[in-house]
Amino acid sequence: MIKKRVAVLISGRGSNLGALIDACAAPDFPAEIALVISNKPDAAGVAVAREAGVSTVVIPHGDYASREAFDAAIEAALEAARIDIVCEAGFMRIHSEAFVRRWEGRMLNIHPSLLPAFKGIRVHQQALDAGVKISGCTVHFIVAELDSGPIVAQAAVPVLPGDTTETLAARILIEEHRIYPEALRLLAEGRVRLESGKAVFA
């Protein structure tokens, strides 16, 4: 099997990165993590990648004068590693439109809510404030508009009385670690594709 070469973009803890690395370790998984890119040198996820022996590049966004210049550095790293698919996992930068267009249909993100509800940041607080009884997580194709791309996979969890952002986040994170590898498998096997702005499942 020729495995798809995946880059994971991170800014923080890297637990979804860890879940993707674990899934890719299975011989029959259709993708391998070939590169991790962090915009933060001290992100815990950088250590997760290094411990797993995955090549890691730190590209601090502050070193670049513009979004375009930062994305060009990312693009160069992706090209050098011959990347097929990009998975964002807690990557806290917004891309230029040109970058998103170039990777359209080949770039996924995970978001800790049932999109289209609760886009952006402080997502768990938004869910608690809204008083929803169910929340969850979403893997979606990345498009120019933030947290708005076609949905590849979702999982729901209950919001329980007395939940804090921490307890809700922890319950959702378990599902994130389950559905992100599933979504990557679908994309790597060509069982989902982006067509005319919609996710099409084979």
Q: Which is nearer to ligand GRF, 4 or 111 (CB)?
A: 111
Say whether residue 176 binds ligand GRF (CB under 6 A). Answer: yes
Closer CB to ligand GRF, residue 13 or residue 171?
13
Q: Is 55 in the site for ligand GRF (CB under 6 A)?
A: no
Q: E strands within 19-178?
A: 31-38, 56-58, 85-88, 107-111, 134-141, 151-158
Question: Is residue 40 part of the contact set for ligand GRF (CB under 6 A)?
Answer: no
Q: Confirm or reject binding of residue 14 to ligand GRF (CB under 6 A).
A: yes
Nearest partner of 103 among 115, 81, 119, 87, judged by Cα? 87
| 68 to 107: interface string for ligand GRF, x by CB under 6 A | ---------------------xx-----------------
Residue from 5, 8, 58 nearest 29 by CA: 5
User: From the list 15, 125, 154, 165, which residue makes contact with ligand GRF (rule: CB under 6 A)?
Assistant: 15
- Which of 111, 124, 140, 177 is an active site residue? 111
Q: Tell me whether residue 58 or residue 72 sits nearer to ligand GRF (CB atom).
A: 58
Point out which span in 12-20, 25-33, 49-57, 127-135 binds ligand GRF (CB under 6 A).
12-20
Closest of 47, 48, 74, 50 to residue 60, by C-alpha: 74
Q: Fill in the DSSP letter of residue 82.
A: T
Annotation marks residue 61 as catalytic = no
Whole-angstrom Cα distance, residue 15 to residue 52? 13
C-alpha–C-alpha distance, residues 70 and 57, integer Å: 13
- Give the type of residue at 185: R
Query: CB–CB of 70/59 below 8 Å?
Result: yes
72/146 with CB nearer ligand GRF: 146
Residues with a catalytic annotation lie at: 111
Footprint of ligand GRF (CB under 6 A): 10, 12-17, 45, 89-90, 110-112, 137, 173, 176
